[in-house]
Structure 1
Amino acid sequence: MTPLKLIETSPGAFSLLLDAGTTQVDELVEQLGHDPNGYFWAGVARFLVSTEASTLEGRFSYDPEAGMFCAYGNDRTALQELGALMSAVARDGDRMRKLVLSAKAAGFEFDD
């Protein structure tokens, strides 16, 4: 799940975290006109859920900040699935480029 990490914040409560600005695709994200901050990554997560993993919808919440992406909840499996999807994008420039272009074509707005 690199560069994301899943932690148990209290018994039965989990957070999926990504330190913004630490991925292999940050420079590409900037070239595509976005700021690779926590809000951008929350948009990536939302777009992935809406287009590739609708079964995850409503199974966790988002709490991004400028320097960090965070999704949290008590459904560890759902957060692991999201982490796997996001990890693939965070490590693959071609995948990130396709995601951003698909989002633009669909009228999706990243909140970065």
Structure 2
Amino acid sequence: MTIHLHDFDGEHSLTLDVGGLAADAAVVAAGHEPNGHFWEGLVRFSWPDIAGHVDFDSDAGMFCAVGSSSDLARLKTAVESVITSPEAVRDIIARAETSGFEFDD
């Protein structure tokens, strides 16, 4: 499990290959599919200040965000703090569902 920051021709992106993450069991137990779209939703809910400054290009097997290097560096730090923590993911899912947020997974 590695989150990658990329710089290609001046375009910056952050990618995460999904599946096999420590938090996957918590995602499934909450009734969600631990795919790129789920993680995109988790980012949109958890860090709207960052999510509002990046574009997403996620798919079933990969989470992908495109934006400035500084926004993506902040996002990388934030995402790394939860993908290895089933407890943090369970907490975020519970808060999201309580607020009426719907994941698009």
Under TM normalisation by the shorter chain, which class is it?
over 0.9
| Structure 1 stretches lacking a partner, 5+ long | none
Cα shift at 1:58: 3.1
SS at match of 1:24: coil
| Structure 2 stretches lacking a partner, 5+ long | none
Aligned counterparts of 2:51 and 2:89: Cα–Cα separation in 1:
21
Aligned length: 105
Q: Match for residue 8 of structure 1?
A: 7
Aligned counterparts of 1:97 and 1:3: Cα–Cα separation in 2:
21
Q: Match for residue 65 of structure 1?
A: 59
Once the two structures are superposed, residues 71-101 of structure 1 have per-residue CA deviations (whole angstroms, 9 ceiling, x without a partner) of: 012x101011011111111011111110000
Q: Which runs of 4+ in 1 moved over 4 A?
A: none
SS at match of 2:16: strand
TM-score (norm 2): 0.92
TM-score (norm 1): 0.87
Superposition CA RMSD, Å: 1.3
